[in-house]
């Protein structure tokens, strides 16, 4: 059964409800109500993403660096305040773009550009599971190649990705880096790095996913 205009109207109603729920508690009405629906959605994602980022990052640091001091990370390996502020600065530069992605997705759904349905009886379960599997494969494939190009293209590595890898060595664990810390392979001294990747809280997104990338990328840069 195909999605109808009623389905898309319901999507708009739902996102409008989410916008009001978040924005009405964070901003005066005269600042956000006049904005177009798309900008309201992005502003909601942006503010909520920042709140999630700072709360989860604070709780993680409090647990690892204070409650479990010397359990997971030696005291002399805790990043300095300057290093943390630098990572927060980088995350704040990325946050508007990270939160734009779900906003665009919602826009596409609301305008009928996707196969989204408002009730479970509107779609075939087999196709639903198939789409989910295809989605996961495509997302992991694309993120792998995006991450690889961030290493292979020197300009992108220098200006976008290098700060993220400041704490990829095994002795560092910094939750506010905002993305997975790929540490497969060997560090510059020749010692074997951890076989696993440490993953931190992300806005979006959202968005946190588990990836361990091959040494062909991480061994190219210190």
Per the listing, tokens 């349905």 go with 117
Neighbours of 146 (CB within 10 A): 10
Sign of CA dihedral 126, 132, 135, 136: negative
Record the pTM. Answer: 0.66
Taking only the tens place, the pLDDT of each residue in 142-186 is 989 988 998 999 998 887 777 777 655 444 444 444 443 333 333
Taking only the tens place, the pLDDT of each residue in 184-221 is 333 333 333 333 333 333 333 333 333 333 334 444 45
Q: Where are the domains of the chain?
A: 5-113+123-218
Q: How far apart are CA 96 and CA 177, in angstroms?
A: 16
Q: Which residue has better confidence, 30 or 93?
A: 30
Q: Which residue has better confidence, 137 or 164?
A: 137
């Amino acid at each position: 059964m195909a999605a109808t205009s009623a389905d898309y109207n319901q999507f708009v109603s739902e996102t409008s409800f989410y916008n009001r729920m978040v924005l009405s508690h964070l901003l005066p009405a005269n600042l956000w109500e006049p904005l177009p629906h798309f900008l309201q959605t992005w502003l909601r994602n942006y503010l909520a993403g920042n709140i999630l980022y700072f709360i989860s990052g604070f709780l993680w640091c409090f647990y690892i660096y204070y409650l479990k001091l010397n359990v997971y990370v030696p005291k002399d390996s805790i990043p300095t305040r300057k290093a943390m502020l630098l990572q927060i600065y980088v995350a704040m530069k990325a946050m508007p773009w990270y939160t734009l992605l779900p906003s665009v997705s919602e826009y596409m759904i609301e305008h009928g550009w996707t196969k989204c349905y408002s009730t479970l009886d509107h779609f075939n379960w087999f196709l639903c599971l198939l789409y989910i599997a295809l989605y996961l494969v495509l997302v992991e494939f694309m993120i792998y190649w995006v991450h690889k190009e961030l290493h292979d293209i020197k300009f992108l590595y220098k200006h976008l990705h290098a700060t993220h890898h400041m704490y990829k060595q095994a002795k560092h664990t910094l939750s506010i880096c905002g993305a997975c810390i790929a540490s497969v392979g060997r560090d510059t001294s020749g010692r074997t790095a951890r076989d696993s990747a440490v993953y931190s809280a992300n806005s979006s997104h959202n968005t946190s996913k588990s990836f361990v990338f091959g040494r062909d990328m991480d061994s190219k840069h210190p």
